[in-house]
């Protein structure tokens, strides 16, 4: 298992917003030499700009030779324009790692010279606290060493799942890439429902946040199946059973609603393919 300090040359991050910034923070935290990192971004957010300045990471360097790894973390919609500018910075041995939703291996391969090693991946925002999960697929040009380097970079922000079938990336985007938003929405709506039922709004907000955070942590730490944890809350004919009769309704409960949401997200991921 290579560590980040084993990466031979530079890691060039293109786009240092929410996702790119979180990854960079993870890499530096795990020992990537700031002198071997560089960022291309015309206007990184203030917290990322402070990180770059504080750690001495080069921003928009004019030269430096081809990087070992180019990580692409700009919005998929601007990818053609941005990559047309940065693709010439890659060399024959540069590994390209994309975290862009939708943008396919075929699109990425069309932008870089034939034979370029490309990994397409989809992380999620708990990456910011090292609790993300990334799903990744490699093209045929990626060597074993490059795959281990990509794995080390992606693993700096949480777990990594490699797949062979690229279609799985659109589906993973709909589950884990966008998934944190579904959970945050649950916290928002639980707080609203509590307030609507009569709790003071600030108390409802604290209860909802702590409940979502505590339940997530219980899944993570206990290793117990979510279904069993749910049953552990549910006394026969008690309050939870009354609520779950609504939430587990076969027609209008969480099940069909989430299935529809996941299908919509996967469809959008395919539309963003380019």
Ligand X SMILES: NC(=O)C1=CN([C@@H]2O[C@H](COP(=O)(O)OP(=O)(O)OC[C@H]3O[C@@H](n4cnc5c(N)ncnc54)[C@H](OP(=O)(O)O)[C@@H]3O)[C@@H](O)[C@H]2O)C=CC1
Ligand Y SMILES: O=C(O)[C@@H]1CCC=N1
Which chain residues interact with ligand X by CB under 6 A?
Answer: 14-20, 40-44, 73-76, 78, 82, 99-101, 122-125, 177
Q: Cα Rg for the chain, rounded, in angstroms?
A: 21
Q: Does residue number 101 form part of the binding site for ligand Y (CB under 6 A)?
A: yes
C-alpha 36: how far from its chain's center? 23
Kindly state whether residue 178 participates in binding ligand Y, applying the rule CB under 6 A: yes
Could you tell me how many residues of this chain bind ligand Y (CB under 6 A)?
4
Which of ligand Y, ligand X, none does residue 4 bind (CB under 5 to 8 Å by kind)? none
Interatomic CA distance for residues 93 and 137, integer angstroms = 18
d(CA 31, CA 3): 8
**Contact partner at residue 99 from ligand Y, ligand X, none, CB < 5 to 8 Å by partner kind:** ligand X
Q: Helices 179-197 and 201-222 sit at what angle, rounded to 10 degrees?
A: 140
The nearest distance, CB 36 to ligand X, in angstroms, is: 19
Q: Does 132 bind ligand Y (CB under 6 A)?
A: no
The binder of 208, among ligand X, ligand Y, none, by C-beta within 5 to 8 A per type, is none
Does 94 bind ligand Y (CB under 6 A)? Our answer is no
157 is a contact residue toward ligand Y (CB under 6 A)? no
Instruction: State which of positions 137-156 bind ligand Y (CB under 6 A).
Output: none
> Using CB distances below 5 to 8 A depending on partner kind, what does residue 17 bind out of ligand Y, ligand X, none?
ligand X
CA angle 210, 211, 217 (to 5 degrees): 85
- Looking at 2-10, 103-111, 139-147, 172-180, which segment touches ligand Y (CB under 6 A)? 172-180
Residues at the interface with ligand Y (CB under 6 A): 101, 173, 177-178
């Amino acid at each position: 298992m290579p560590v980040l300090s084993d990466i031979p040359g530079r890691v060039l991050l293109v786009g240092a917003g929410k996702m790119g910034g979180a990854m960079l923070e993870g890499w530096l935290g795990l020992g990537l030499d700031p002198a071997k990192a560089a960022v291309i971004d015309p206007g990184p957010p203030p917290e990322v700009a402070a990180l770059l300045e504080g750690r001495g990471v080069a921003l928009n360097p004019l030269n430096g030779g081809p990087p070992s790894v180019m990580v692409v973390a700009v919005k998929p919609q601007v990818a053609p324009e941005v990559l047309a500018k940065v693709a010439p910075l890659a060399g024959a041995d540069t590994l390209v790692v994309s975290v862009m939703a939708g943008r396919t291996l075929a699109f990425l391969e069309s932008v870089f010279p034939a034979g370029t090693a490309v990994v397409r991946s989809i992380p999620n925002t708990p990456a910011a606290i090292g609790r993300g999960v990334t799903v990744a697929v490699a093209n045929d040009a990626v060597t074993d060493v490059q795959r281990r380097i990509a794995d080390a970079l992606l693993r700096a922000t949480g777990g990594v799942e490699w797949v062979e079938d690229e279609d799985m990336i659109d589906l993973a985007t709909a589950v884990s890439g966008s998934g944190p938003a579904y959970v945050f929405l649950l916290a928002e709506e639980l707080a609203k429902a509590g307030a609507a039922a009569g709790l003071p709004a600030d108390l409802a907000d604290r209860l909802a946040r702590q409940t979502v955070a505590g339940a997530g942590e219980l899944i993570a730490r206990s290793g117990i199946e979510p279904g069993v944890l749910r049953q552990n809350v549910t006394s026969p004919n008690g309050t939870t059973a009354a609520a779950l009769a609504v939430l587990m309704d076969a027609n209008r409960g969480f099940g069909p609603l989430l299935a529809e949401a996941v299908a919509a997200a996967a469809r959008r991921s395919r539309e963003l393919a380019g």
